[in-house]
Amino acid sequence: MLQKILSEKINIWQKEIHSVIKNKGQKVISEVTVSQAYGGMRGVKGLTCETSAVSADRGLIIRGYPLTDISHISPEEVFYLLLTGELPDSDAVNDIQNQFKNNQKVPEYVWKILESMPKNSHPMTMLTTAIQSMQVDSIFVKKYNDGTPKTDLWKWTLDDGITLLSAIPIIAAGIYRMRYNKGDRIEPDKTLDWAGNFAHMLGIQDEDFKKLMRLYLMLHCDHEGGNVSAFSSLTVASALSSPFLSVAAGLNGLAGPLHGLANQECLKFVLDVKDHFKTVPSDEDLKDFCWDRLNNGRVIPGYGHAVLRCPDPRFSAFMDFGENYIRNDDIFSIVQSLFKVVPPVLLEQGKAKNPWPNVDAASGSLLYYYGLKEFNYYTVLFSISRSMGIIAQMVINRAMGIPITRPKSVTTEWIKNNT
């Protein structure tokens, strides 16, 4: 069903893009300054992304829907939305859920590889190693080797994508139980939805935690095309590497502390506050604590963003959840106090272009509350969700025939002589 709907839409999108390139191909959409060339290409418009856009003052907009309007939908619904541009009806949701359930298997070699890794491996290293190892079963690679026309490769990208999205929660939950000595792996429960089943396999059976997982796995699904993980994945995929290698590449980027790994740093920071004061500090004490950290040359985790210039709506959605479900919890109270204290401190310091909280400022405190206390695992949760956006972007790029990524770099000598 999903493939059929996509085939129809892709025909239309291809025509639209061909016409845009024909009529507007020579228009200029960006220029690049020397500072941008040295500055992570910040703000340079050099690629397209159909699944979502990030507005500096409104945050994530998925296929035209501001996140605040759709934060209640399930991960399955958002995956459908990312891919097709439409919210699914109940038949379409059932179809996706059935596709995920029918593919709920992880090859035995994956568990053997994970078991043979050093016991102190970072869970993100374990996750990307597992995903990468599954490349051996890639249908995309088989079809490519069989000489499938380039125009049809998106179908096999989607096929591998569904295999991967069905397996990732099982692998991730297996890593959690293995890495933190939680006992045997828990088998998937076919009566549960994608996120609920993941919570079940982690071994945290609280119904509110299942709700949190639905929210968490929805909110982290995509953040347009130029962030480190999406851009790395799409660059690797543009070489027609398999979806397994491409997703693993992006998630390795997500494992960096300035990107997805920030969520483990954030909770660590909040726990440091609790540890230091032994209770929820006054705003004045918290302000001094933040200044000490800044004066020691360290960032305030969970605050600032490369693109956003407002409180991240994903942060607001987590805060709403916390306000509805969490009672009398020091860690969450510290997160609330930080939201009052940090923006004015960062504004006064005058360095960060965005003093507001990002997605990572609140999520850890909620996970901690429900007993998921191993914070170096948090980026794995982010990865499960972000795989949806990466796969959707990859399918569309393949369908649109976007060629291999190859921007031009220049040397400092060239800049000195030519500008």
In the range 151-210, which residues lie near ligand HAX by CB under 6 A?
Answer: none
Q: Which residue's Cβ lies closest to ligand HAX?
A: 304
Among 301, 285, 296, CA closest to 352: 301
Determine the size of the site formed for ligand HAX (CB under 6 A): 20
8 Å CB contact between 379 and 254: yes
Rounded to a whole number of angstroms, the minimum distance from the CB of residue 228 to ligand HAX is 8
Rounded to a whole number of angstroms, the minimum distance from the CB of residue 168 to ligand HAX is 18
Among the residue ranges 64-72, 119-127, 300-308, 403-411, the one whose residues contact ligand HAX (CB under 6 A)? 300-308
Exactly one of 88, 304, 322, 364 binds ligand HAX (CB under 6 A); that residue is: 304
Exactly one of 352, 367, 395, 399 binds ligand HAX (CB under 6 A); that residue is: 352
DSSP 357: B
Beta-carbon contacts of residue 315 (< 8 Å; ≥ 6 apart)? 356, 357, 358, 359, 361, 362
Exactly one of 63, 287, 305, 314 binds ligand HAX (CB under 6 A); that residue is: 305
Exactly one of 88, 302, 311, 389 binds ligand HAX (CB under 6 A); that residue is: 302
- CA 268 from centroid of its chain's CA atoms: 20
Rounded to a whole number of angstroms, the minimum distance from the CB of residue 43 to ligand HAX is 10
* % helix, strand, coil for the chain, step of 5: 65, 5, 35
374: left (phi over 0), alpha (psi -120 to 50) or beta: beta
Q: Is residue 225 a contact residue for ligand HAX (CB under 6 A)?
A: no
Residues 319-333, buried b or exposed e (16+ Cβ, 10 A)? bebbeeebeeeebbb
Q: Is residue 299 a contact residue for ligand HAX (CB under 6 A)?
A: yes
Q: Is residue 222 a contact residue for ligand HAX (CB under 6 A)?
A: no
Retrieve residue 400's tokens.
């649109």
DSSP 407: P
In the range 246-285, which residues lie near ligand HAX by CB under 6 A?
Answer: 258-260, 262
360 included as an active-site residue: yes
Which of 259, 276, 283, 312 is catalytic? The answer is 259
Residues serving a catalytic function are 259, 305, 360
